[in-house]
């Protein structure tokens, strides 16, 4: 099971990967970063990533009941967020942890070289195997 550094380095092996980070989405602090940052500053990117994660993760419109007949408390948790820009893809994947932490994995892909579907699958796998200690 990969730790923080291994997880980030493995994310950077994806085609078109430009940068990756693990971010505490409550505080906006980067837990780990690798590669480039869209604005050139990993700390600012972490804060902005945390803001987007909070918007998606804390609003009921994104955690609606599972469907007709579903129990009112059977909410669907947000798994990931994808933002598409003219030159890239920005993926945020929420990380489940036995610790009481709120961590999101962030991956920035070049739009011409990246494969969005593959990146989502691999980022999910990394998030599931990630060991936070």
The number of folded domains in the chain is 1
Residue 92 lies in a domain: yes
Numbers of helices and strands, H then E, in the chain: 3, 5
b/e per residue, 98-126, with b = 16+ CB within 10 A? eeeebbbbbbbbeeeebeeeebbebbbeb
Residue 9 lies in a domain: yes
Q: Would 71 be classed as within a structural domain?
A: no
- Provide the token pair at 41: 């500053």
The domain spanning residue 55 has which CATH number?
3.30.450.30
pLDDT digits 0-9 by tens, 68-121: 655 544 455 788 999 999 999 999 999 887 666 789 999 999 999 999 999 999
Does residue 69 lie within any of the structural domains? no
Nearest alpha-carbon partner for 59 in 78, 73, 46: 78
In a domain, 109, yes or no: yes
* Domain carrying residue 121: 4-63+76-129
88-95 vs 17-24, strand pairing mode = unpaired
pLDDT digits (tens, 9 = 90+) for 26-47: 899 999 999 999 989 999 999 9
Residue 68 in any domain: the answer is no
Task: Give a yes or no: residue 58 inside a domain.
Answer: yes
Single pTM value for the model: 0.86
Within 8 A by CB and 6+ apart from 60, the residues are none
Question: Would 8 be classed as within a structural domain?
Answer: yes
């Amino acid at each position: 099971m990969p730790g923080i550094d291994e997880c980030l380095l493995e994310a950077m092996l994806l085609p078109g990967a430009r940068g990756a980070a693990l971010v505490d989405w409550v505080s906006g602090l980067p837990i780990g970063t690798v590669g480039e940052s869209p604005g050139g500053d990993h700390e600012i990117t972490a804060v902005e990533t945390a803001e987007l994660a909070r918007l998606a993760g804390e609003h009921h419109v994104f955690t609606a009941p599972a469907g007709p007949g579903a129990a009112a408390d059977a909410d669907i948790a947000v798994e990931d967020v994808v933002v598409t820009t003219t030159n890239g893809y920005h993926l945020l994947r929420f990380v489940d942890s036995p610790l009481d932490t709120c961590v999101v994995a962030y991956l920035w892909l070049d739009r011409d070289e990246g494969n969005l579907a593959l990146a989502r699958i691999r980022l999910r796998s990394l998030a599931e195997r990630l060991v936070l200690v």
